[in-house]
A and B are shown apart, each in its own frame.
Chain A
Amino acid sequence: MSGHTDMVLVDENGMRIDGRTAEQHRPIKIEAGVLDNADGSAYVEIGKNKVLAAVYGPRECHPRHLQDPTKAIVQCKYNMETYSVSDRKRPGPDRRSIEISKIISEALEKVVLTELYPRASIDVYIEILQANAGTRCAGLTAASVALADAGIPMRDIVPAIAAGKADGHVLLDLNKEEDNYGQADVPIAIVPSTDEIVLLQMDGNMTREEFDHAIDLAVNACHEVYDLQRDALKRRYSAKKGEVSE
């Protein structure tokens, strides 16, 4: 958003530097149940982003003062590995990752049936192995698959994707260059069954028309991501079934 470049992010044919059109997202790969020791887990690749999510719980909430006597809390920890970006990321929570942890746990709390487990805590750990813009969306996408894999009761699975603006064009799913040298970035997460928005942020500037267009693009793409999430979960459990029936 801040930098300036001579790079042409969108050429005269509407093609982007990685060969996508404005309304295309990067290739997405989702796999559920990749970790044995967590109650649920998922691995997501969106373009060059690589994200691992693990879920524990519901379990007794520690520290005790965070317990809610009426419902469970969703505690999320978003963490970037030191090697996830090109210059080493200083390890440990910083302002950015604390913010992302907070918005992701709030998005997930909207869908998890927390009132079934008063006083308990559901812990979500998101590890960014490789970052290339859009990791909060990838993280939330992975986290909701991991929650479903853990067998935690929830209303729906949450898909997330970003839209934005670069070189004056509204684009879906910005990559690193478009994010750095573009004009705006709008990550969105929805509940597919109702089209409720559970996460919406905006960094940069857009006109109202551009914003509405960006939302439309992202909501449509969210439904595509949702199909991939469901596929990943069904693949995991029908694979299990397949291997037992021989």
Chain B
Amino acid sequence: MERRNARPTREIVVPGDVLDETGMKPGENAYVQDGKVRASVTGVRNVFQNTVGVIPLKGCYMPKSGDTVIGVINDIGPSNWMVDINAPYPAPLHVSEVPWKVEFGDTSKYLGIGNVVIIKILSVDESRKIQVTMKDSGLRRITGGRVVTIPCSKVSRVIGKSGTMISMLKNMTDCRITVGQNGRIWIDGDDENCDVAAEAIAMIESKAQSGNLTDAVKDFIGSRLPQNEYGYQEE
């Protein structure tokens, strides 16, 4: 499945590099100047149909509406919580956006500072004011397990093509895993299995640019945890 995505050359570009001079359209992280398409971030050159862009190698998480993210409660107000979602902007979670009926001033009874929540970005306006919600299926406060953080540019590799990587991780380690688009990943399960899952994610992070990653990770987990044909096997 890596092959479909394979490009002839994975050329590293830095800001200002000319991506194309033949009249292609600028894609993501590219701009046009004097008829030349140039890169605006450090990353890998990516051609898609008649657009040329850059897949960034680094960079901070920019919230998009619809993203599911893992946040940490930062501050408590009388009618909202401030959530740290690893973005340059604070994310206020209003009491009307939580699944409980909260009286004015009772916010700290429901979520305290340091609590970890799975939330969804409702909207981001042009001045980058963020609204988040916890009123959807799967959105909740999380207890137990652990949170590991990876750069948000690597999130798509952890999920894999149509979720192959993440479903394999879940199957082989028998852990509950939730990937936030902001690069925070929650892993819950048996201690030993969690360790392996966390190490596998670290491996994906460090080898994000190499091909055939799914197989490499599969071998890695297979060498650490005994497997049967249905997936993870209890001893």
Query: A residues near B, CB below 8 A?
Result: 39-40, 57-60, 69, 111, 113, 117-120, 148-157, 191-194, 229-230, 233-234, 237-238, 240-241, 244-245
Contacts and interface: CB of A to CB of B under 8 A. Distances in A.
B14 A150 contact: no
Contacts of A149: 42, 58
B128 A117 contact: yes
Interface of B: 10, 12, 14-17, 29, 31, 33, 38, 40-43, 56-60, 88-90, 126-128, 153, 206-210
Contacts of B16: 154-157, 191-193
Contact of B57 (A69, A154, A193, A237): A237
B86 to A, nearest CB: 10
Contacts of B128: 117-120
Nearest to B127: A118
30 contacts: A58-B88, A111-B15, A118-B127, A119-B89, A119-B127, A120-B128, A148-B14, A148-B15, A149-B42, A150-B59, A151-B41, A151-B57, A151-B59, A151-B60, A151-B153, A154-B15, A154-B40, A155-B31, A156-B15, A157-B14, A192-B16, A193-B16, A193-B33, A193-B38, A233-B42, A234-B14, A237-B57, A241-B10, A241-B209, A244-B208
Contact of A194 (B33, B42, B90): B33
Nearest to B90: A60
Contact of B59 (A111, A152, A155, A194): A152
B201 to A, nearest CB: 15
B87 to A, nearest CB: 9
Nearest to A61: B88
Contacts of A234: 12, 14
A238 B13 CA distance: 10
A154 B31 CA distance: 10
A226 B85 CA distance: 36
A120 B59 CA distance: 14
Given A120-B89, A244-B210, A245-B209, 16 more contacts: A60-B89, A111-B15, A118-B126, A148-B41, A148-B42, A149-B42, A151-B59, A153-B40, A154-B16, A155-B16, A155-B31, A155-B40, A156-B38, A157-B15, A194-B33, A234-B14
B58 A40 contact: yes
Given A39-B60, A119-B89, A244-B210, A237 B12 contact: yes
A150 B31 CA distance: 19
Instruction: Give me the 9 closest cross-chain CB pairs, A-B, nearest first.
Output: A151-B58, A151-B59, A156-B16, A120-B88, A58-B88, A244-B207, A153-B40, A233-B14, A244-B210
Contacts of A111: 15
Nearest to A191: B16
Given A157-B15, A233-B14, A152 B41 contact: yes
Given A153-B15, A230-B17, A241-B209, A60 B56 contact: no
Contacts of A153: 15, 29, 40-41, 59
Nearest to B54: A153
A109 B171 CA distance: 48
Contacts of B209: 240-241, 244-245
A192 B12 CA distance: 19
Nearest to A238: B12
Nearest to A241: B209
Given A155-B38, A157-B15, A233-B14, A57 B60 contact: yes
A57 to B, nearest CB: 7
Contacts of A194: 33
B226 to A, nearest CB: 26
A168 to B, nearest CB: 37
Contact of B14 (A119, A191, A230): A230
Contacts of A58: 60, 88
A39 B61 CA distance: 12
Contacts of A39: 58, 60
Contacts of B42: 148-149, 151, 233, 237
B12 to A, nearest CB: 5
Contacts of A240: 209
Nearest to B209: A241
Nearest to B15: A154
Contacts of B31: 155
Contacts of B57: 151, 237
A193 B38 CA distance: 9
A118 to B, nearest CB: 5
B136 to A, nearest CB: 26
